Amino acid sequence: MSVETPGLNRAVGLDEAEVAERIAAGQVNDLPPRSGRTVAGIIRANVFTRINAILSVLLVLVVITGSLRNGLFALLIVVNSVVGIIQEIRAKRTLDRLAIVGEAHPVVRRDGAAERLDRRQVVLDDVIELQPGDQVMVDGDVIETDHLELDEALLTGESDPVAKAVGDQVLSGSFVAAGRGAYRATRVGADAYAAQLAAEASKYTLVNSELRNGLNLILRWVTYLLIPVAALTIWVQVRQLSVDRNQALLNLVAALVPMVPEGLILLTSVAFAVGVVRLARRGCLVQELPAIEGLARVDTVCVDKTGTLTAPGLTFERLVPVRRPGEGGPDALVPESDLAAFAAQLAATDPSPNPTVQAIADHLGAPEQPWPLRATEPFSSRTKWSGATFEPAPGRPTTLLLGAVDVLASPGSPVSQEAERLGAGGLRVLGLARSSAPVGEVRVPDGVEVIGLLTLGQNIRPDAADTVAYFADQGVAVKVISGDNASSVAAVAGQVGITGTAVDARPLPDDPARLADDMANHAVFGRVTPQQKRAMVGALQARGHVVAMTGDGVNDVLALKDADVGVAMGSGSEASRSAAQLVLLDDKFSVLPRVVAEGRRVIGNIERVAVLFLTKTFYSVLLALLVGLAQLPFPFVPLHVTITAWFTIGIPAFFLSLAPNAARAKPGFARRALSRAAPAGIAIAVCTFASYVVLRQFVSGASQKQISTACLLVVIGIAMWVLIVVTKPDEPWKWALILGGAAAYAVIFCVPALAHFFTLDVGSWPALAVAGIGIAVGVLACQVAWRAERALRTRRQASARPGD
């Protein structure tokens, strides 16, 4: 697509032959996959895991014995890998497809013509144009500049824009804060800094996730426990009981397999991947997976007014002449026709108009005879005005400025008061000022005279009010922080349901503690600088808040990057989209509740199923230790362990991980999961071991197979009760899940062919009676322990409340 950029067509760029030569030499901007991992990388990551390694070693031990049916647990290796690979590749393709939609295209000059190209089409030595909001795609050297200023905060941490002169180096990853220019590409592809940023910022990963960190901690401790339990089991089986090698190996595998929460990590990855796909269907690009979890934990959302509460684009309303200071007659007003001509001339000097200037230019039209220019000053969020100096002529102002009224006029002046009055109605108000000084030497407000006000209408997003109401219902505070006039911001905020007095941010303190106090007491802030937005996010975080930031402009980049979750609008600047973890491609603010819901579903459901897996880990470790210390043969074979997990953990956990769950996410996932799983695991282990001892010592005539079957019933019976408590069956599908599992176990235990295959025997009534008593005692113990844990947690919460 060809584009016109007036005043920046001095360097013609490469010709077609030079481009072909560089493509043949491989000097193109080849970039890593947008979603971070290749298909081969996803396969490796899902096959070569710690859990698969553990299960593979145990499978080898079973193969050595020749009892292949006891190796059924190894199917988990295949299932873990295949399901994880399919879901992640599906999510990757979705991310790649959506990333292309939300991707910006640099303006490249070739053969003297400027055109927008895919960033992968850029080659070495290409001439690339820069306009406000553009990202520097590849590294290079500046060859043209018109007040070009770059925001390098993401590279250096320096918050102030850096002016660039001809010959200066620019690094990919920086953004144009003001002005315009062009540079020649000197490093592309993997050699450019952008390649590292893209791989790091868009990686398909779960790093810095409390959920994943908690699971990794649990898995690490399980690995540590495997070694002593394995050593004790082998020693007891071989040295004390003189069991033959094959049986000893089977007993060892049976003791160790249930300790591994093999499906928990898989279900976490699947749940997140499904969330990515679900959100993608609603036009939300998830650039970092932790953002789904993070937004579910958010308690404060900071929103920028423009682009978030209001839709892109402005509607020109009217010109308002203002009286000159100290003068009283009608002749003191600049005629509206002159104001319109002045504003049209000033708008025509901007080759890359922002939405505000574009709305003025569209309404007033292009001047028939543009005035000759001497100098221009582009708009920047630092100065909050733009201007131009013209060649002197009778009746023509030397310099015109357009910008924020409270910057161009003194506070409390009649002009400022009139602007406040107009802004209180929700209009965006700009001042048109003149000065006798060149634009580069203008001093505001003393050196300028405001001669008119321009008002522009703002379009409130139709979904903004409902989204704000949703967050209010969920106990999430919404703070509006905008660079616009405070009165105008307050008017828009009030229309979407955010009430309160607007605060002008300019006199706010730099001290984080005092700033946090102001943030706690107010919800609407105007005239906020980019550095203040960043400081506000930091102040809230210092008070323990989990903060999400939404925005669409270059001035939002610093805050988006520092927030726990950054959310950018798809129609916003390329800078904001790159800095954010979530991009709303359709600009629908109403998608955020969906993201919250997905995060809550993932966190709540994984915490729920984690109780099932960790219960198994607890009872497996404790049972192995009890049996080992008592110097008894292990009661189960690996096949028993496999069927135990089928309907008490594996299948139910899969459905539970994808079920709706609207419970608000809270910190402390690992602690809560362990507090529920530990009592249940201990109860199962103790009751199973007690039943095992009673059956061996006091039930005569029961075979080892019948004893093992009775012990297995104890494990399954209590585990099914844990499943009922965790599932909280309030819907038909949950009851079907539980009853279906119970029916499946009845078939396995009672159908002779299946019972023979799984080494089961229910022919001893005394053994079954002991199993029934064990189940009853275990269920009662679980209930008592859980009630005690809830009472203790309630007392701790009560003691932690202020004033108690």
CA distance 759 to 636: 10
Q: What angle do CA 696, 702, 704 make, to 5 degrees?
A: 70
Six-digit token pair at 15? 């010709």
Six-digit token pair at 692? 């095992």
Six-digit token pair at 232? 């004790």
**Burial tier of 428 (Cβ tally within 10 Å: 0-12, 13-18, 19+):** buried
Alpha helical stretches, state H, 147-244:
153-156, 193-201, 210-234
Closest alpha carbon to 121 in 221, 30, 250: 30
CB-based contact 484:506 (threshold 8 Å):
no
Report the 3 state secondary structure along 575-641.
HHHHHCCEEECCCCCCHHHHHHHHHHHHHHHHHHHHHHHHHHHHHHHHHHHHHHHCCCCCCCCHHHH
CA distance 151 to 30: 25
Show Cβ contacts of residue 114 under 8 Å, excluding neighbours closer than 6 positions.
2, 3, 4, 5, 8, 9, 107, 108, 129
Paired sense of beta strands 107-110 and 565-569, if any: unpaired
CA distance 461 to 188: 40
* Helices vs strands, H then E, count in the chain: 28, 22
Six-digit token pair at 46? 């899902």
- Helix axes of 290-297 and 262-281: crossing angle, nearest 10 degrees: 80
Q: Annotated catalytic sites, by residue? A: 304
CA distance 594 to 596: 5
Q: Which amino acid is at 665?
A: A
Residue 113 burial (CB count, 10 A)? 13
* Residue 238 DSSP label: I
CB-based contact 145:179 (threshold 8 Å):
yes
Residue 754: C-alpha distances to residues 281, 749, 798 (Å): 44, 7, 53
